[in-house]
Amino acid sequence: MKIFTWWEGATIGTLLWSARKGEHVGTDAQGNKYYRSKEVREGEKERRWVIYNGANDASRVPSEWHGWLHHSYDELPESHLPPAKIWEVDYTPNATGTAQAYRPAGALERGGQRARATGDYEAWTPDA
């Protein structure tokens, strides 16, 4: 139920508050929308926030928008982004805790059987 669940995106209350009190300033390639407060009280920093397009996962915020959200710079990231490099890859979600998470050989989820030690390891001792 969208009214009470925050882990699957913004609640209805957050969306209404953003529309009323916030100014939409940009959208990233994943569809996350970025806002800042319309009114700033004297002596306070402007409030900045993100409404995720999908699951609320902080790893989905690109580095340029992360810097803007945390007041590392005041200009919007889209105004001073360098061109993308040919070797840059698209975002992949953090798979920790999911069925897609990396599980090396020997992990309990893969049977817990590790390769036998080969004998090429020599333990360190302070006397040596």
Q: Does residue 36 fall inside a structural domain?
A: yes
Provide the mean pLDDT of the chain: 81
Over residues 118-127, the pLDDT tens digits come to 888 888 889 8
Q: Which residues contact 20 (CB under 8 A, 6 or more apart)?
A: none
Q: Does residue 67 fall inside a structural domain?
A: yes
Residues in the chain: 128
CA neighbours closer than 13 Å in the CB half-sphere of residue 52: 16
Q: Does residue 57 fall inside a structural domain?
A: yes
Looking at the 3D structure of the chain, how many domains does it have? Answer: 1
Q: Does residue 113 fall inside a structural domain?
A: no
At 69 the pLDDT is 92
Q: Does residue 44 fall inside a structural domain?
A: yes
Q: Does residue 70 fall inside a structural domain?
A: yes
CA-wise closest residue to 88 among 27, 29, 25: 29
Q: In what order do the strands lie in the sheet with 22-27?
A: 22-27, 33-37, 48-51
Q: Does residue 121 fall inside a structural domain?
A: no
Over residues 41-88, the pLDDT tens digits come to 888 888 888 988 888 888 888 888 999 999 988 888 876 677 878 998
Expressed as residue numbers, the domain containing 60 is 12-79
